[in-house]
Amino acid sequence: MNFCFRWDTTYRGLPGFFYKATRPDAMPAARMLIFNASLAGELGLNADALNSPEGARFFAGEIPDGGPEPLAQAYAGHQFANFTMLGDGRALLYGEHVSPTSGRFDIHLKGAGQTAFSRRGDGRAALGPMLREYIISEAMHGLGIPTTRTLAVVGTGEDVYRQEIQQGAILVRVARSHLRVGTFEYAAAFHKGPDMVRELADYAINRHHEDLVGTESRYCEFARRVIAAQVDLITHWMRVGFVHGVMNTDNMAITGESIDFGPCAFMDRYDPATVFSSIDRDARYAFARQPEIAQWNLARFLETLLPMLHSDQDEALRIANELARSFMVAYPKAWLGMMRTKLGLTEPLDADERMISDLHSQMRSSRLDYNNTFLALTRSMEQDGGDQVIPEELQTWYQTWRDRVRAQSGGETAALNLMKRSNPVYIPRNHLVEEALSAASGKGDFDPLFKLSDILREPYAWRSGMEYYEEPGPVDSGPYRTFCGT
Ligand code: AMP
Ligand code: MG
């Protein structure tokens, strides 16, 4: 059957140092549990052909003649600040697909069996965490946030053993590439001299920044773009209250796509110290620390590029330091600009920063729901007597803000336009995600999951009768805890 993949795996052109050719385990009992037909369409694939038993087996290791030549990628990384060798232990680059209209994409299989990098792991993935990644990655896409995506979740028909027996699954992940900060760290740490980092940087520039090829300042400019992409990404995360939870350097893609959705979750009540992950005991990856961690990770990235930034290493260090600092110059500006859109402010005023920080203090002290606070502000402008949707504690602040909006150019109409695009009505609320997952992996009932995913496809569009999906989880349910899907 013709799935319409156009394979062209350029990663094989890198030195063998960077990967190990690996075939996925064949899992003949595989069946398609989730198929993302709209993504398949965007990629120019034959959705009808793929969404079939044959398609499921194809994603579960049954490679036809002329099919892809998979490989496991080598990478290292700082996990909670400790450097270690990693690599694709339960994932594979199945191949690179060149879509007719939207460029080159990695097609990755997560949970396809052991590789040279599996160490003691089984190379498998359990269904629950893969369904979770499907929900969240597609929600991120709906929210307009750069992200790896999920083309399919395939049930392998095999058991995997975690604390208990679970159903095995393979997630088909789609990304602009899987080049991580950790891939650069691997090249710098495990090969003497700068040759491998240079190979990798040239590959990345070729693949993602073709206009820089052959230019003298390409490595500096490449670094600048990687930094800019992270500024953009983290600003988006902060906009919607997303806590990644495991911002290790191997989980930071140089494309600026969100990647690795293990313990991530969305914050309900506003608290900058929010941590969900059970293993993040020191709150290293708390909500408000994400910008500084991104900068820390970028500093690790820049260190690997030192030999290329300048022939004089003192000068290279100066450039790297300046680049690292540039994150903390650009990020606060981007964040402020983002907050202005959330509040519908069309023109900057000096007083805005104070107003924004007052709002955050109030949200924090009153334990207000982050997203629903901005949603209430948006709604207050859509209806007469709008201030009734504003929580009591926020009334004083609200009047100041409302006066400010009335007085600005474009007034309330312009504000409302901005706000409706920046403040989602729906996010993947933790209790809704859990509900969907327990129905799907517990009882084989996928309806709640499909319904939730459907709403999250267009999270800025209000739908009547869907109030249930707007509400934060019950306060008495205790703190939400997430676990890595390993
Ligand atoms: P992650 O927590 O997904 O970022 O993974 C960290 C590292 O552990 C990566 O090198 C993974 O490939 C590896 N890993 C995670 N789970 C497994 C598994 N079940 N089998 C083999 N390797 C794994
Ligand atoms: Mg990872």
Q: Which ligand is nearest to the CA of 161?
A: 1
pLDDT in tens, 376-434: 999 999 988 788 899 999 999 999 999 999 999 999 999 999 999 999 999 999 999 99
Contact 189, 182 (CB under 8 A): no
Please check the confidence at residue 478 and state whether its pLDDT lies above 90.
Answer: no
Find the mean pLDDT for residues 73-92.
Answer: 98
- Which atom number of ligand 1 is nearest to the Cα of residue 251? 4
CA of 166 to the centre of ligand 1 (A): 17
Contact 343, 419 (CB under 8 A): yes
pLDDT in tens, 289-324: 999 999 999 999 999 999 999 999 999 999 999 999
The amino acid that residue 118 corresponds to is S
* Pocket-forming residues, ligand 1, beta carbon under 6 Å: 86-91, 117-118, 121-124, 250-251, 260, 262, 484, 486
Contact 172, 150 (CB under 8 A): yes
Find the mean pLDDT for residues 468-474.
Answer: 92
Q: Token pair 């940087």 is at which residue?
A: 201
pLDDT at position 446 is 98
Measured CA distances, 158 to 28, 112, 265, 442 (Å): 10, 11, 28, 15
CA of 396 to the centre of ligand 2 (A): 45
Calculate Rg over the CA atoms of the chain. Answer: 23
Residue 175: both structure tokens together: 């990304």
Residue 49: both structure tokens together: 């052909």
pLDDT at position 249 is 98
pLDDT in tens, 218-255: 999 999 999 999 999 999 999 999 999 999 999 999 99
Residues 227 and 221: their CA atoms lie apart, in Å, by 10
User: How many helices (H) and strands (E) in the chain?
Assistant: 16, 12
pLDDT in tens, 110-134: 999 999 999 999 999 999 999 999 9
pLDDT at position 473 is 87
Q: Is 430 helix (H, G, I), strand (E, B) or coil?
A: helix
Site to substitute for ligand 1 among 90, 171, 186, most atoms within 8 A of C-beta: 90
pLDDT above 90 covers a percentage of the chain that reads 94
pLDDT above 70 covers a percentage of the chain that reads 99
Contact 128, 434 (CB under 8 A): no
Q: How is residue 274 annotated by DSSP?
A: -
Helix or strand (DSSP H, E) at 304? helix 290-309
pLDDT in tens, 31-52: 999 999 999 999 999 999 999 9
In the Cβ-directed half-sphere of 85, how many Cα atoms lie within 13 Å?
Answer: 11
Q: Is 413 helix (H, G, I), strand (E, B) or coil?
A: helix
* Exposure b/e, 456-472, CB count within 10 A at least 16 = b: beebbebeeeeeebbeb
Residues 168 and 110: their CA atoms lie apart, in Å, by 11
Q: Token pair 């059970």 is at which residue?
A: 278
pLDDT at position 479 is 79
CA of 53 to the centre of ligand 1 (A): 28
Helix or strand (DSSP H, E) at 79? strand 76-79
Torsion of CA 484, 447, 438, 41, to 10 degrees: -10
Find the mean pLDDT for residues 14-23.
Answer: 98
> Of 164, 166, 141, which is closest to residue 155 (Cα–Cα)?
166
Count of CB atoms situated within 10 Å of the CB of 338: 16
- pTM here is 0.97
Please check the confidence at residue 373 and state whether its pLDDT lies above 90.
Answer: yes
Q: Give me the chain's average pLDDT, please.
A: 96
The catalytic site residues sit at: 250
The sign of the CA dihedral 59, 61, 63, 67 is positive
Beta strands in 57-136 (DSSP E): 71-73, 76-79, 82-85, 91-99, 103-110, 125-126
Q: Which ligand is nearest to the CA of 73?
A: 1
pLDDT in tens, 163-180: 899 999 999 999 999 999
The sign of the CA dihedral 251, 211, 106, 240 is positive
Residue 227: both structure tokens together: 């930094």
pLDDT at position 486 is 54
CA of 278 to the centre of ligand 1 (A): 17
> Of 264, 353, 372, which is closest to residue 361 (Cα–Cα)?
353
Contact 56, 278 (CB under 8 A): no
> Of 353, 357, 394, which is closest to residue 373 (Cα–Cα)?
394
pLDDT in tens, 257-287: 999 999 999 999 999 999 999 999 999 999 9
Please check the confidence at residue 476 and state whether its pLDDT lies above 70.
Answer: no
pLDDT at position 440 is 97
Q: How is residue 394 annotated by DSSP?
A: G
Phi, psi of 235 (to 5 degrees): -60, -40
CA 424 to chain centre: 17
Please check the confidence at residue 449 and state whether its pLDDT lies above 90.
Answer: yes
Q: Which ligand is nearest to the CA of 259?
A: 2
